[in-house]
């Protein structure tokens, strides 16, 4: 849901091991395959399991003007609040904030944002694949924003899997679908005008 | 004046990391030999070359040092092949003797400086070797432009028989962006009748690629005096012919911000934001660091009341700005050294809100004019 000039900027935050980089890459790849311009900016530093992990994705209809270090973003996915708190510093007031309520308290987000929460880590455990929580969040975010189709997201996920991980394709697809389904039940809190 | 090498519009958009996009652009430019030694953030380019070059019929060698790598590249390029090496500034420091030799013996090669920050401006534009030589340097502001510049650099290296440099950085090496890749459409170049292809061996007319140009009994050559004069003349000709820059609002703005590479992209973004708020500000960006677009800068700053220099170092391009700006008293430095805690990338100064604050603070100061 983009007009011809706007750019959708997304911050994805969590900790190393939650699939932050992979879901960012999946969304950017899906947008590119759908003919849009996309950018995935690398967060530089010593990536490690449990350390801070951040990805930023920008999608637009035209060649992008957004910077690889975003000045601000219109939406965010927060998988874990250990390093960023419930609200990323650069999320604009009124922006869309999707939080993993298994870990993050959505009440901590305050009233300046449109907040949707889903217990992605718990849903992933119920699916028997705890490592797919990131794809659940991505499926929900994409259902809320309609940036790409669900099929494009699944196709991008499959195209990015190396041959030695291909056995995860079906469970990742199930996670994207579970996230998309969970988003249908979501009622976003309305942002109170700042 | 833009540095664009025309690219077919219809090539599909692909989401590529900068290192991959540059490697593929190099191969599309017929680069068939690459040698280097891993060093972050250059390592990704070396890995991509290692992966892609064999299928293109070329050779990529992980050398045992930067010095070995650049000298292998001189060897390959001497045979007429398009050849390239790279590192970050720290590794390119080791290559300086070979770069000077290549410049003086007129061997075309491309050097990818996937720099950690902007502290290599002097290295690129002044060099650290010996003799009267320069290295043409293009500084792309983002990944799509790095693709264009890569293709242009292979062309210019051959055109002028000289080593040339792409000044990249971690943002260009590691950001993934949608790019379109196609073979470049550039003017045809003459055959390399100087290349050491083995065809003249034993004929008494064998060719030489030699820094000192002392020739042999049957063909005495120009000797160092004549040869080095000719090389110096060539660099003077390149200096006049290859200046590239872009700018916006320079004629109407009180304040002009000068930046190169990624910092220029941030500058463009912040200036547009400030203009939308009614501030009288514009930007000027050297695309070639050498040759520096001095005449264009002088013209662009003719009516500026403030000229702000934003670069992520202690003030290196600042020297060139002061040399060519219309009025030296208008120049203020708003950049600085800013290094990520890992040492491998930029620190917090490369950021739109920080740059915005620095421009606004400078604009709040009285002007000299």
Residue B155: give its domain's CATH number. 3.40.50.970
Between A43 and A78, residue with greater pLDDT: A78
Q: Answer yes or no: is A75 within a domain.
A: yes
Q: Is the minimum CB–CB distance between A5 and chain B shorter than 8 Å? A: no
Q: Does residue B235 belong to any structural domain of this protein?
A: no
In a domain, B240, yes or no: no
Binary contact (B265, A67; C-beta < 8 A): yes
Residue A150 lies in a domain: yes
Q: Is the pLDDT of residue A145 over 50?
A: yes
- For the residues A109-136, what does the mean pLDDT come to? 94
In whole angstroms, what is the distance from residue A22 CA to residue A26 CA?
6
Asked if B178 and A37 come within 8 Å (Cβ–Cβ), the reply is: yes
Looking at residue B369, its pLDDT comes to 62
The secondary structure element, H or E, covering residue B11 is none
Look at residues B180, B199, B222 and tell me which one is the last residue of a structural domain: B180
Residue B369, in any domain of the structure: no
CB–CB contact A67 B269 (8 Å) = yes
- Is the domain of B136 the same as that of B48? yes
Is A124 a residue whose pLDDT tops 70? yes
Residue B152 has pLDDT above 70, yes or no: yes
Q: Does residue B142 have a pLDDT over 70?
A: yes
C-alpha span between B115 and B135 (Å, rounded): 16
Instruction: Name every chain A residue with its beta carbon within 8 A of the beta carbon of B20.
Output: none
Task: Examine residue A46 and state whether it is found in any structural domain, yes or no.
Answer: yes
A1 in a structural domain: no
Contacts of A150 (CB under 8 A, 6+ apart): A139, A142, A143, A176, A177, A180
CA distances (Å), origin A152, targets A7, A62, A133, B126, B290:
19, 19, 19, 50, 45
What does residue A139 show for φ and ψ, rounded to 5 degrees?
-60, -40
User: Nearest Cβ partner of B174 from A25, A32, A44?
Assistant: A44
- In a domain, residue B121? The reply is yes
> Does the CB of A32 have a partner CB in chain B at under 8 Å?
yes
Q: Does A68 touch chain B (CB under 8 A)?
A: yes
Number of domains chain A contains: 1
Query: CB–CB of B262 and A68 under 8 A?
Result: yes
Query: What domain count does chain B have?
Result: 2
CATH number, residue B258: 3.40.50.920
pLDDT at B127: 86
Q: Do B269 and A71 touch (CB under 8 A)?
A: yes
Q: Are residues B159 and B61 in the same domain?
A: yes
> Is there a domain that residue A191 lies in?
no
Which residues in chain B are closer than 8 Å to A59, comparing Cβ atoms? none
Question: Around B8, how many Cα atoms within 13 Å sit in the side-chain half-sphere?
Answer: 10
In a domain, B354, yes or no: yes
What are the backbone angles phi and psi of residue B35, rounded to the nearest 5°? -140, 140
Q: Please give the residue range of the domain that contains residue B30.
A: 13-180
CA distance A95 to chain B (A): 19
My answer on whether B41 and B161 are in the same domain is: yes
- Is there a single domain that holds both residue B39 and residue B170? yes
Report yes or no: A57 and A38 within 8 Å, Cβ to Cβ. yes
Same domain, B61 and B174: yes
Interface test with B, best of A36, A42, A54, A56 (most B CBs within 10 A): A42
The answer as to whether B293 is a domain residue is yes
Residue A46 pLDDT level (bands cut at 50, 70, 90): low
Nearest chain A residue to B341 by CA: give it: A45
Whether B71 contacts B98, CB under 8 Å: yes
d(CA B232, CA B237): 9
Note whether residue A177 is domain-resident.
Answer: yes
Same domain, B250 and B353: yes
**Within a domain: A2:** no
Report the pLDDT value the prediction gives residue A44, as an integer from 0 to 100: 52
Over residues B86-95, the mean pLDDT reads: 98
A152 vs chain B: nearest CA distance in angstroms?
14
Candidates A37, A41, A68; nearest CB to B13: A37
Cis ω for the linkage preceding B41 (within 30 of 0): yes
Asked if A44's CB is within 8 angstroms of B176's CB, the reply is no
Q: What is the CATH number of the domain that holds A158?
A: 3.40.920.10
Given a cut of 80, whether residue A62 has pLDDT beyond it is yes
Whether B176 and A28 lie within 8 Å, measured CB to CB: yes
Asked if A40 is an interface residue toward chain B (Cβ–Cβ < 8 A), one would say yes
* Chain A residues with CB-CB distance to B262 below 8 A: 68
pLDDT at A194: 42
Q: Tell me whether residue B58 is in a domain.
A: yes
The answer to whether residues B30 and B136 belong to one domain is yes
Mean pLDDT of B234-239: 98
Lowest-pLDDT choice from A85-89, B14-18, B307-311: A85-89
Which of the listed residues B157, B180, B203 is the one where a domain comes to its end? Answer: B180
For residue B5, the model assigns a pLDDT of 47
Residues with Cβ within 8 Å of residue A107, at least 6 apart in sequence? none
Provide the pLDDT for residue A108.
Answer: 87
In whole numbers, what is the pLDDT of chain B averaged over residues? 95
> Is residue B236 assigned to a domain?
no
Domain range holding A66? 7-185
Q: Does a structural domain hold residue A190?
A: no
Q: Are the C-beta atoms of residues B277 and B226 closer than 8 Å to each other?
A: no
Shared domain for B153 and B300, answered yes or no, is: no
CB B340 to CB A44 under 8 A? yes
Quote the minimal CA–CA distance from B270 to chain A in Å: 9
Tell me the pLDDT band of A175, cut-offs 50, 70 and 90: very high
Q: Of B125, B159, B180, which closes a domain?
A: B180
Q: What is the mean predicted confidence (pLDDT) over B214-230?
A: 91
B342 vs A contacts (CB less than 8 Å): 44-46
Q: Are strands A52-60 and A7-15 parallel, antiparallel or unpaired?
A: antiparallel
DSSP state letters, B203-255: TT------TT---BTTB---HHHHHHHHHHHHHHHHHHH---EEEESTTT-SE
Distance from CA of A51 to the nearest CA of B (A): 14
């Amino acid at each position: 849901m983009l007009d011809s000039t706007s750019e959708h900027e997304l911050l994805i935050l969590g900790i190393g091991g939650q699939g932050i980089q992979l879901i960012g890459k999946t969304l950017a790849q899906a947008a590119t395959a759908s003919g849009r311009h996309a950018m995935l900016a690398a967060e530089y530093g010593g990536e490690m399991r449990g350390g801070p992990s951040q990805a930023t994705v920008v999608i637009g209809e035209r060649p992008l003007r957004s910077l690889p270090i975003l000045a601000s973003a219109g939406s965010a996915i927060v998988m874990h609040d250990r390093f960023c708190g419930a609200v990323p510093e650069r999320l604009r007031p009124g922006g869309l904030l999707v939080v993993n309520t298994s870990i993050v308290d959505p009440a901590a987000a305050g009233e300046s944002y449109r907040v949707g929460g889903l217990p992605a880590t718990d849903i992933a455990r119920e699916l028997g694949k705890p490592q797919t929580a990131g794809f659940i969040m991505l499926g929900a975010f994409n259902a809320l924003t309609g940036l790409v189709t669900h099929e494009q997201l699944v196709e991008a996920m499959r195209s990015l899997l190396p041959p030695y991980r291909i056995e995860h394709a079906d469970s990742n697809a199930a996670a994207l679908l579970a996230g998309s389904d969970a988003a249908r039940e979501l009622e976003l809190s309305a942002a109170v005008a700042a | 004046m833009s540095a664009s090498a025309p690219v077919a519009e219809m090539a599909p958009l692909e989401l590529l990391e900068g290192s991959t996009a540059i490697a593929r652009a190099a191969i599309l430019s017929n680069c068939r030999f690459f040698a280097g030694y891993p060093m972050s953030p250059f390592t990704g380019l070396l890995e991509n070359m290692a992966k892609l070059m064999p299928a293109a019929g070329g050779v990529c060698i992980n050398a045992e040092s930067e010095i070995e790598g650049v000298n292998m590249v001189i060897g390959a390029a001497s045979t007429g092949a398009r050849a390239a090496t790279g590192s970050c500034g720290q590794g390119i420091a080791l290559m300086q003797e070979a770069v000077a030799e290549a410049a003086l013996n007129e061997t075309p090669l491309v050097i990818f400086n996937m720099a950690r920050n902007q502290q290599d401006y002097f290295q690129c534009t002044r060099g650290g070797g010996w003799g009267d030589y320069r290295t043409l340097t293009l500084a792309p502001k983002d990944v799509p432009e790095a693709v264009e510049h890569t293709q242009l650099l292979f062309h210019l290296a051959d055109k002028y028989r000289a080593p040339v440099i792409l000044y990249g950085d971690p943002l260009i090496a590691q950001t993934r962006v949608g790019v379109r890749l196609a073979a470049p459409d550039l003017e045809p170049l003459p055959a390399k009748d100087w290349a050491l292809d083995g065809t003249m061996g034993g004929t008494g007319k064998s060719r030489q690629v030699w820094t000192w140009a002392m020739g042999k009994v049957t063909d005495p050559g120009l000797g160092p005096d004549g040869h080095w004069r000719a090389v110096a003349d060539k660099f003077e000709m390149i200096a006049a012919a290859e200046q590239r820059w872009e700018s916006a609002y320079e004629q109407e703005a009180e304040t002009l911000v000068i930046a190169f590479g990624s910092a220029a992209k941030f500058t463009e973004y912040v200036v547009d934001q400030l203009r939308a708020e009614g501030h009288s500000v514009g930007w000027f960006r050297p695309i070639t660091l050498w040759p520096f677009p001095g005449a264009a800068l002088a013209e662009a700053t003719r009516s500026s009341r403030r000229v702000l220099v934003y670069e992520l170092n202690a003030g290196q391009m600042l020297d060139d700005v002061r040399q060519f700006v219309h009025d030296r008293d208008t120049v203020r430095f708003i950049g600085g050294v800013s290094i990520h805690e890992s040492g491998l990338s930029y620190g917090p100064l490369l950021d739109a809100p920080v740059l915005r604050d620095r421009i606004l603070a400078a604009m709040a100061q009285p002007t000299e004019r």
